[in-house]
Structure 1
Amino acid sequence: MALNPRKASSSKAMADAASWLCACFLVTLILLCIFSDSSVVGEDDEGKLRGKRVLSKACDEIYVVGEGETLHTISDKCGDPFIVEKNPHIHDPDDVFPGLVIKITPSHNN
């Protein structure tokens, strides 16, 4: 049985329309994600407070060293100039590696 040429062209047209609809939907989702992320980084006071809360979470009392961090950068970031003194398990300040757990006691609130 051969396919009716009208049905074949009709099926192709429907498939093309569905493809365009999916493409438009994906583009809309991407644009919504981009604009919703940029709206969080606003200059309003509430956004600034949320940002400070998020940043302060990185310097909780227990801190896990990340890739490329040094005791100096952690000290600057968290406001704790006495990391080595408060962490007796750190024998060599130059031997800090990702995953090392240290105690942070900030000297001031951010």
Structure 2
Amino acid sequence: MGGSSSYSCVVESATWFCVVVLMGMVMMMGSMSRVDDGAIVIKGEKLGERRVCDEIYVVGEGETLHTISEKCGDPFIVERNPHIHDPDDVFPGLVIKIIQQQHK
């Protein structure tokens, strides 16, 4: 009978694990929504598309320092971001500091 008790413990642990994972997924989906064009929005922003040049800027897919500099009006991105060692090595998700010089 000891095996049956051990089996029940494993099943109960697995059930709780599944409940926790499911709750995490539900919470994540609660912060996401779909817009008319099918893009996923998190906290009001389309993923992969950033239109606002905030002081803290997250590089999007296909962006370069040159395109960000033109869009945001900050010609000194490399100087303001000492963690960028190679201006050609920019990737989506990279966080950079922007100071807008002009409005576009």
Query: What TM-score do the two structures reach when normalised by structure 1?
Result: 0.49
More strand by share: 2
AA partner of residue 72 (structure 1)? H
CA pair 73-14 structure 1, distance change in 2 beyond 3 A: farther
Can you list the C-alpha shifts for 1:8-39, whole angstroms capped at 9, x where unaligned? Answer: xx211100000000011111111111111111
What are structure 1's unaligned runs of at least 5 residues? 1-9
Of Structure 1 and Structure 2, the greater helix share is in 1
Larger Rg: 1
For residue 71 of structure 1, what is the amino acid of its counterpart?
L
Call closer, same or farther: CA 1:57–1:30 in 2, change over 3 Å: farther
Letter in 2 for 1:41: M
Count of aligned pairs: 84
Gaps of 5+ in 2: 36-40, 81-85
- Two-structure CA RMSD over aligned residues (Å): 4.3
State the secondary structure of the residue aligned to 1:83: coil
1:43-93 alpha-carbon deviations (Å, 9 max, x no partner): 59xxx79324xx789831x65879x862134347xx41x322x45849xxx
Paired residues of 2:59 and 2:95 also in contact (CA < 8 A): yes
Identity level (%): 21
Q: Distance in 1 between matches of 2:13 and 2:98?
A: 51
Calculate the TM-score normalised by the size of structure 2. 0.51
